[in-house]
Amino acid sequence: QVQVVESGGGLVQAGGSLRLSCTASGLTFDDYAMGWFRQAPGKEREGISCITWNGGRTYYVDSVKGRFTISRDNAKNTLYLQMNSLKPEDTAMYYCAAGPECAPRVPNEDEYDYWGQGTQVTVSS
């Protein structure tokens, strides 16, 4: 069956960096666009970034643009999110998901098929 597993979360001070990883198995990884989503306490889950199957196009919401970088290594079935200049408002559970496309708009979770369990990112001030 399909398994999607995120890792790399943790506690970091404001201004610091983290790199999240997401490994998928049980699917043909390069058949799928991939997205990163996050859910802060008391808030709805939001899409923050996505990448096409070959990494040729990416999308970022304004709140992370210029600070976060999404990338993928299809040979390793792995998706990454490099997060720099972290802010307390970036504190959330971060999820990755596989879907049919990465459109040039905010990723819509209803369009993504396979999800991981999430990894917690906490940014202290």
pLDDT digits (tens, 9 = 90+) for 93-119: 999 999 999 999 999 999 999 999 999
List, for residues 3-23, the tens digit of each pLDDT value.
999 999 999 999 999 999 999
- Dihedral in degrees, nearest 10, Cα atoms 97, 98, 102, 106: -20
Give the C-alpha distances (Å, rounded to integers) separating 109 from 97, 119, 122, 125.
8, 17, 22, 29
pLDDT of the residue at 52: 98
Helix (H, G, I), strand (E, B) or coil at 88: helix
pLDDT of the residue at 114: 98
List, for residues 39-68, the tens digit of each pLDDT value.
999 999 999 999 999 999 999 999 999 999
Going edge to edge, which strands form the sheet with 68-73?
Answer: 3-7, 18-25, 78-83, 68-73
pLDDT of the residue at 15: 98
